[in-house]
Amino acid sequence: MNAVVHAEGLVKAFGRAKALDGLDLTVEKGEVHGFLGPNGAGKTTTIRILLGQMRADGGRITLLGGDPWRDATELHRRLAYVPGDVTLWPSLTGGEVIDLLGRVRGGLDPERRADLLERFELDPRKKCRAYSKGNRQKVALVAAFASDVELLVLDEPTSGLDPLMEAVFNECVVREKRRGRTVLLSSHILSEVETLCDRVSIIRAGRTVESGTLADLRHLTRTSVTAELIGPADGLAALPGVHELTVDGARLRCQVDQDALTAVLGELARSGVRALTTQPPTLEELFLRHYQAAAR
Amino acid sequence: MTGTWSLIRLILRRDRVLLPLWIVISALLPASIAASTAGLYTDQAARDAFAAASMSNPAQLAMRGVIHEASVGGLTAWTLGSSLTLIGGLVSILLVLRHTRAEEEAGRRELLSSGVVGRHAPLAAALVVVPAANVLLGLLSVPGLVANGLPAGSSLLFGLSVAGGGCAFAAVAAVTAQLTASSGTARGLAIGVGGLMFALRAAADTGGVAWPAWLSPFGWVRLTRAYAGDRWWVLGLFVVFVAVLAAGAFALSVRRDVAGGLLPARQGPATGTLRGAFGLAGRLHRGTLAGFAIGFGLLGALLGVSARGLDTQLNTPQFRDLAAVLGGSGARVSDVFFSFVMYVLSQLVTGAALVSALRARGEEVAGRADLLLSTPVGRLRWALSHLAFALAGPALLLAVLGVAAGLAYDCDALRVAGATLAYLPAVWTVVGIATLAFGVLPGLAAAVSWTALGIFLVVDLLAEFRLASGVVLDVSPFVHVPALLLDGAGSPVAPLLALTAVAGALAVAGLALLRRRDLATA
């Protein structure tokens, strides 16, 4: 089997609360895999089991061909992890932490380290207590990207980064992918995962609800369109792929399937547009649609 | 200043246990000291003798200063003036910084400042609550003193003097809070200023030159001369000191950004040389350990100096008898004194060792262990890196304590250090308990460890007053350590080996259980 991560029917309970309830996850070698779910869905719990920090109550899990609990130390030579909420040693500088993490992971590339520091605009001489959340995250990211590993496990890595730094992060992930590395990227923001990931697993309440390429999930993604029109757009309701159309005077709202967007925009242009907003579907809308699709 | 009142309520809510505890204990202490002074030294001759002995002891002069009058009130004020200022000053510093700079450092101040809270409100709230608490404890101590038959006016003056000392250091902390971005550095600066002030007073009282005492709140607390002439106007010095520093703090606070400091944040190296778990543990433990080593060294030296005069001062038949009972015939009073003090201090060293032993748990709770343990550093190696300091640390501290006490006393440092180091296996046993708790009940590790130490303290106290014996006494590892300074002490080998074995078994069990459990941040 070529899977870097393979989990089947993972179960983990904290007291009476079930954090994981039969979760499946497969990450193939060389892919960027999006691990998507709302807050509290069990993403971090899965990652902690993957890192051998917790033991699953049930199910099977392999990591890089080994048992993440039993073989933790050996497996950790081959991966780097960036936690969602990075806490660092307040009395150490960022540079010291990067070098410490690099050294215990078996050394890091000094050139790449310098390059990453520059790209992320991080001052390595500051003490960690003086860093903001985003800067602490950058320290962990630089250490991870500069080390020589097969798998990167990134838990909501951009939650503290500004849009500019998010772009730098995206470049870094693409570069890692080109090097043939595998990336597991957890997030609760669909658009973030969309741009980077080859495949996506969507989880909710400790279970995997969807898994596949983004094209596979296309049937779930609808764009919501809000427009203020000059003339009437009577043809819109008849178009295939338009849902939940409401018209309130000149204001119009609807949900549009991805492949019907061109036709819808043509129709709107014919009527004349004063204002237009389109929004990608939120994760919650996606879930809603998933359950509606399942019920039908 | 908008929002000050809400912030005052927030402080009272957050410290609803700590504040009353501190106030009540500090307010009750004067009455109990007055009562025991009156009970111990029943007539003027006894009080005069005690005062004369104390005034010939440089350690007492340095710690407490000069006795102005050998009355019950005068002796109570002398016993407590310095100590209550020390406690009140320290608590005030910690509280003010906790509610100002520490809040900013944690980013919570930003959250509040974005609401309807004025720029000065956090500092103003801290400077209302902490001085008010000081004044309250000063006032509350008055009825107890009056109940012991002391004059009301002087008692009020004494209470207000102590309150003034606390307020003075609250104001010092208010200033240092503005200077640096790190609450740790602000704390260090404020405590450093406190140390300097204490040293000024100590120098004045031991050196025979009076004026340095007038520069220090520690000096003013005694210069009000409560029960010895009552100089009320000295209280004005506190008022001026607090007013000037508070005004300074407010002035400084408008000249800096939220979360920024006036002193530039120190930069460190851009690259690191830490090699792994043990290197990291070394960095994390060394500061605390160095601080403790200096503290225990000074404590040891102070004890050594105090013990110097003991053999002549206490050369009365009663004390010779007592020494003979406790230490066998012909035992020197100073040896008995040392043996008893070592017993107590070994438990203080245990407290320091517990701080180190519980550090691994602290790392786990903070989430830093998650990051480190996601690397090839294994759990066992990580836990051992901290345990090593919890085991070697107390060895260093006991050695420093013994050598310093021995050198200051009679130059036989090795003999005293041997006696202090004999407590090492007992300290290790408590570290073993902490390690076991860390392995099996991580959420309760701190509570279990400190409770265990507390129980041993109580058992030892009961033993001292001959209220417990036999099985109960055997619970405490400290009871099993022979007092090596006394001739009657048995061979230390068997009990110390047994304690070491117990400590080792506890630690091994703790580490084994740690490898089997989930990491947990709560």
Which pair of tokens denotes residue B207? 């050196």
Residues in chain A with CB shorter than 8 Å from the CB of B284 are: 89, 91
CA distance B450 to chain A (A): 25
**CB-based contact, A53 to chain B, within 8 Å:** yes
Nearest-by-CA chain A residue for B181: A130
**CB-based contact, B330 to chain A, within 8 Å:** no
Residues in chain A with CB shorter than 8 Å from the CB of B371 are: 81, 83, 86-88, 101, 140
A96 vs B269: CB contact, 8 Å cut-off? Answer: yes
B269 vs A125: CB contact, 8 Å cut-off? Answer: yes
Residues in chain B with CB shorter than 8 Å from the CB of A87 are: 366-368, 371
Of B134, B62, B22, B14, nearest to B306 by C-alpha is: B62
Last residue of a domain, one of A198, A217, A236: A217
**B227 and B154 Cβ atoms separated by less than 8 Å:** yes
A150: exposed, middle or buried (C-beta count within 10 Å: 0-12, 13-18, 19+)?
Answer: middle
| Claim to verify: residue A19 and residue A132 sit in the same structural domain | yes
| Claim to verify: residue A231 and residue A193 sit in the same structural domain | no
DSSP letter at A31?
-
Of A177, A87, A191, A183, nearest to A139 by C-alpha is: A87
| Claim to verify: residue A190 and residue A274 sit in the same structural domain | no
Give me the residues of chain B with pLDDT under 70, please.
113, 116, 258-265, 309-320, 322-323, 325-330, 411, 461, 463-472, 487-489, 522
- Domain segments of chain B as ranges: 4-253, 277-516
CA distance linking residue B247 with residue A296, whole number of Å? 72
Phi-psi label, residue B159: left if phi above 0, alpha if psi -120 to 50, beta otherwise: alpha
- Establish how many alpha carbons lie within 13 A of residue B302's alpha carbon, considering only the half-sphere containing its beta carbon: 15
3-state secondary structure of A154: strand
**CB-based contact, A11 to chain B, within 8 Å:** no
CA distance A294 to chain B (A): 36
- Establish how many alpha carbons lie within 13 A of residue B227's alpha carbon, considering only the half-sphere containing its beta carbon: 26
Q: Which residue has the tokens 């230490």?
A: B327
Hey, how many other C-beta atoms are within 10 angstroms of the C-beta on B381?
Answer: 16
| Claim to verify: residue A245 and residue A101 sit in the same structural domain | no
CA distance A83 to chain B (A): 7
Does A231 fall in a domain?
Answer: yes
B518 vs A53: CB contact, 8 Å cut-off? Answer: yes
Does A17 fall in a domain?
Answer: yes
| Claim to verify: residue A207 and residue A228 sit in the same structural domain | no
DSSP letter at B259?
T
A100 vs B271: CB contact, 8 Å cut-off? Answer: no
The b-or-e profile of B114-139 (16+ CB within 10 A means b, else e) is eeebeebbbbbbbbebbbebbbbbbe
B368 vs A129: CB contact, 8 Å cut-off? Answer: no
Residues in chain A with CB shorter than 8 Å from the CB of B382 are: none
Last residue of a domain, one of A190, A217, A244: A217
**CB-based contact, B288 to chain A, within 8 Å:** no
Residues in chain B with CB shorter than 8 Å from the CB of A129 are: 105, 182, 184
**CB-based contact, A13 to chain B, within 8 Å:** no
Checking DSSP bridges between strand A79-82 and strand A151-155, what pairing results, if any?
parallel
For testing the chain A interface, which of B374, B384, B515, B517 should be mutated: the one with the most A CBs within 10 Å?
B374
Does A287 fall in a domain?
Answer: no
**CB-based contact, B273 to chain A, within 8 Å:** yes
Last residue of a domain, one of A174, A202, A217: A217
Give the predicted TM-score (pTM) of the model.
0.75
Q: How remote is the C-alpha of B199 from its chain's centroid?
A: 17
| Claim to verify: residue A184 and residue A234 sit in the same structural domain | no
**CB-based contact, B111 to chain A, within 8 Å:** no
pLDDT single digits (tens) B66-117:
899 989 999 999 988 888 898 899 899 989 999 998 888 777 777 776 776 7
Does A99 fall in a domain?
Answer: yes
B45: exposed, middle or buried (C-beta count within 10 Å: 0-12, 13-18, 19+)?
Answer: exposed
Beta-ladder partners of A23: A10
Q: Phi and psi at residue A79, in whole multiples of 5°? A: -140, 160
Predicted local distance difference test score (pLDDT) of residue B209: 77
* Residue ranges of E strands in chain A: 3-14, 17-28, 32-36, 58-63, 79-82, 151-155, 182-187, 199-204, 207-213, 222-229, 242-248, 251-257, 273-279
Angle at A215 between CA A211 and CA A219, to 5 degrees: 85
CA distance linking residue B130 with residue A47, whole number of Å? 45
CB pairs < 8 Å spanning A and B: 120
3-state secondary structure of A107: coil
Output the CA torsion B402→B408→B412→B416 (10° steps).
-20
Chain B, 459 to 488: residues with Cβ < 8 Å from chain A are none
Task: Name the residue among B270, B374, B377 with its Cβ closest to that of A81.
Answer: B374
Does A295 fall in a domain?
Answer: no
| Claim to verify: residue A207 and residue A140 sit in the same structural domain | yes
B368 vs A87: CB contact, 8 Å cut-off? Answer: yes
Does A284 fall in a domain?
Answer: no
CA distance linking residue B195 with residue A47, whole number of Å? 49
| Claim to verify: residue A129 and residue A275 sit in the same structural domain | no
A104 vs B276: CB contact, 8 Å cut-off? Answer: yes
For testing the chain B interface, which of A71, A77, A89, A152 should be mutated: the one with the most B CBs within 10 Å?
A89
For testing the chain B interface, which of A54, A87, A123, A135 should be mutated: the one with the most B CBs within 10 Å?
A87
Predicted local distance difference test score (pLDDT) of residue B469: 66
Q: Which residue has the tokens 């180091």?
A: B421
Does A249 fall in a domain?
Answer: yes
Hey, how many other C-beta atoms are within 10 angstroms of the C-beta on B149?
Answer: 11
CA distance linking residue B440 with residue B517, whole number of Å? 8
**CB-based contact, A216 to chain B, within 8 Å:** no
* Residue ranges of E strands in A92-196: 151-155, 182-187
How many separate domains does chain A show? Answer: 2
Give me the residues of chain A with pLDDT under 70, please.
1, 218-220, 282-284, 287, 291-296
| Claim to verify: residue A190 and residue A255 sit in the same structural domain | no
Residues in chain A with CB shorter than 8 Å from the CB of B182 are: 127, 129-130
pLDDT single digits (tens) B22-68:
898 889 888 888 888 888 888 888 888 888 888 877 777 877 888 99
Domain that holds residue A274: 222-279
The b-or-e profile of B345-363 (16+ CB within 10 A means b, else e) is bbbebbbbbbbbbbbbbeb
**CB-based contact, A85 to chain B, within 8 Å:** yes
Hey, how many other C-beta atoms are within 10 angstroms of the C-beta on A38?
Answer: 15
CA distance linking residue B261 with residue B97, whole number of Å? 13
A100 vs B280: CB contact, 8 Å cut-off? Answer: yes
CA distance A107 to chain B (A): 10
A104 vs B378: CB contact, 8 Å cut-off? Answer: no
Domain of residue A265, CATH code: 3.30.70.120
Residues in chain B with CB shorter than 8 Å from the CB of A99 are: 271-274
How far CA B470 is from CA of B54, B429, B436, B476, in Å, comes to: 38, 20, 26, 11
Of A20, A143, A263, A76, nearest to B376 by C-alpha is: A76
Does A288 fall in a domain?
Answer: no
For testing the chain A interface, which of B275, B371, B385, B521 should be mutated: the one with the most A CBs within 10 Å?
B371
| Claim to verify: residue A170 and residue A194 sit in the same structural domain | yes
